[in-house]
Amino acid sequence: MDFRLGRVPDVKDIGLVGVPNSGKSTLFTALTHTGSHGGRANQAVVEVPDPRVRALSEMERSKKHVHAQVRFVDVPGGTSSAQGVASLREIDALCIVVRCFGPDATPAEELASVRADLLLADLAIVDSAREKAQKRARGKATDETAALQRAHDALLAETPLRDAGLTADELTHLRSLAPLTLKPWVVVANMEEGSDVPPGLPEGTVGVWAAIEAEVADMDPDEAVALLDEFGVDEPGLQKVIAASYRALDLITFLTTSENESRAWEVRSGATASEAAGTIHTDMKRGFIRAEVISFEDLAAVGGLDAAKHKGLVRVEGKDYVVREGDVFHVRFAV
């Protein structure tokens, strides 16, 4: 486990938000296995669970294996305070935690109130930017004032900016404001053990039993798995929350392997071989010659790269190749 303050380059930040007592801190403990001893850490970098990484490492006899990472932030202050909202600007995706445990739970209303907070926070920054832009333009309509006006209208109509049909040009005038409703959201239903996601929450809502998972967070991992199994937790919350966040962020995973290390990387879905190379190293993008590619499944089926090469299963792809989930990727480059 790795604690770091400040932004970690190339690590996506996922912020846990919600009304007080929805279980954000409990979920944070469940996900990161920290904070359970009354610690005050509110951010932690965790490995993205992916069994392919170890399997690849064993297959190719790498000295070590390295998982992709994400950082969870237990955002203090809630979404109704200016301080709480300000700390969300840097975050890549929001997990909105709603309370589904207890007899008085009203998760749909909770979600609506958090959503309203986020829309209002955006309306405030868009309006202040719009006034400044109008002053600069001395009353004339410019691309910038028009884009900000469109954003204002959408927010007033309670439409999150990511659903407002804004053009790429309009978005260039908004990105520097880091609007919260432009970020992807995942709704997490924090439920009583044994229960299901209640009706009234959006499709794609992730159900977790945060309390029981937080309770086992500092147990021996094998004991924890056995206990969770008894409760019927087949997929840990970490896996579910990360998978949903990756989908919301539109990310896919590709893999690299060498004698030294086998490793998972994340890249936006639709990225080319050249962009994927750039996430490994800028030199690899600059000096890109070609990529040798095979899917992890095909590789695992024949038991290793040597066998795969022998059978002609490793493809040669150029810089415009669109990377697929689970590609094992080797970049030839020269600088």
Ligand X SMILES: Nc1nc2c(ncn2[C@@H]2O[C@H](COP(=O)(O)OP(=O)(O)O)[C@@H](O)[C@H]2O)c(=O)[nH]1
Which one among 11, 96, 210, 284 touches ligand X, defined by CB under 6 A? 210
Residue 29 in the binding site for Mg ion (CB under 5 A): no
Cα–Cα dist 254/270, whole Å: 12
Which one among 153, 169, 192, 196 touches ligand X, defined by CB under 6 A? 192
- Between the alpha carbon of residue 115 and those of residues 18, 79, 329, the distances in Å are 9, 9, 40
Residues 74 to 113 in contact with ligand X, rule: CB under 6 A: 101
Quick one: three-class SS letters along 130-192? HHHHHHHCCCCCCHHHHHHHHHHHHHHCCCCHHHCCCCHHHHHCCHHHCCHHHCCEEEEEECC
Name the binder of 21 from ligand X, Mg ion, none, CB < 5-8 A by kind: ligand X
Residues 5 to 24 in contact with Mg ion, rule: CB under 5 A: 24
Cα–Cα dist 36/216, whole Å: 10
Name the binder of 23 from ligand X, Mg ion, none, CB < 5-8 A by kind: ligand X
- Between the alpha carbon of residue 228 and those of residues 1, 6, 69, 192, 222, the distances in Å are 21, 33, 24, 14, 10
Number of residues that bind Mg ion (CB under 5 A): 2
Residue 211 in the binding site for ligand X (CB under 6 A): yes
Please report, in angstroms and rounded to a whole number, the separation of the first and last CA atoms in the chain: 35
Residue 190 in the binding site for Mg ion (CB under 5 A): no
Choices 46-54, 59-67, 132-140, 208-216; region in contact with ligand X by CB under 6 A: 208-216
Residue 18 in the binding site for ligand X (CB under 6 A): yes
Cβ 74 to ligand X shortest distance, Å: 7
Binding region for ligand X (CB under 6 A): 18, 20-26, 101, 190, 192, 209-211
